[in-house]
Amino acid sequence: MVSHFVRPVPELCIITNHMIDWIYNRWHHLLSRYNHDLLFPANLMLYADAIYRSGAALENCWGFIDGTVRPVCRPGENQRAIYNGHKRVHSVKFQSVALPNGLVGHLHGPVEGKRHDSGMLASSGLLQDLQRFSNSPVTGLPMCVYGDPAYPLRAHLQGPYKGAVLTLHQQEFNKSMSSARVSVEWVF
């Protein structure tokens, strides 16, 4: 950016921070997680119904959580902080909850590429938000998001059955949820 804009690094930082502040001050009401309709309890019920009607086994699942790795150029310093050993690339990571309408209901990141999905989950505060806000307005029972095996199982966070030997019911469950979950990959 220095060569493109012909300005020193500190000045580019000041301009960037000014623009971030301006965007936030102008549009913060759209960025707040609970100031809009996306995650109201009634809408969670609509999302869960849409996912269940698509063939998913869970009746109370309203979204799909996943992390993504975005490669970046190798930095000159602190390379280990952003090196992702699994993908073998320097990167930053994001975590999102994809809704069945194609929108992102929750986004966390960027974080260092070395962070595991379960580490991003802990730092995002999503589990606490799910415990507070992800309950059926009708029955009061927990509603959940569905993730891959990297995430821990909780009442509000479900995943596939694990193991080499699964019953037929478990295999069918995993297959139905996997076909519904593919939508989270489309978000990225």
| pLDDT higher than threshold 80 for residue 185 | no
- Report the 10 Å Cβ neighbour count for 28: 10
pLDDT digits (tens, 9 = 90+) for 116-143: 888 899 999 999 989 988 999 889 899 9
How far apart CA 156 and CA 48 sit, in angstroms, is 13
Q: Which of 60, 81, 55, 82 has its CA nearest to residue 71?
A: 82
Q: Which phi and psi angles does 33 have, rounded to 5°?
A: -60, -35
Q: Which of 155, 158, 38 has its CA nearest to residue 107?
A: 38
- Report the 10 Å Cβ neighbour count for 15: 13
| pLDDT higher than threshold 70 for residue 183 | no
Reported confidence tier of residue 171, pLDDT bands at 50, 70, 90: very high
| pLDDT higher than threshold 80 for residue 59 | yes
pLDDT digits (tens, 9 = 90+) for 60-100: 999 999 998 999 988 888 888 889 888 899 999 999 999 98
CA atoms within 13 A on the CB side of 53: 7
Q: Which of 99, 40, 26, 15 has its CA nearest to residue 65?
A: 99
Whether pTM > 0.95 for this model: the answer is no
Name the residue type at position 105.
G
Burial grade of 92 (CB within 10 A; 0-12, 13-18, 19 or more): middle
Could you say which DSSP state residue 35 is in?
S
End-to-end CA distance of the chain: 25
How far apart CA 125 and CA 76 sit, in angstroms, is 31
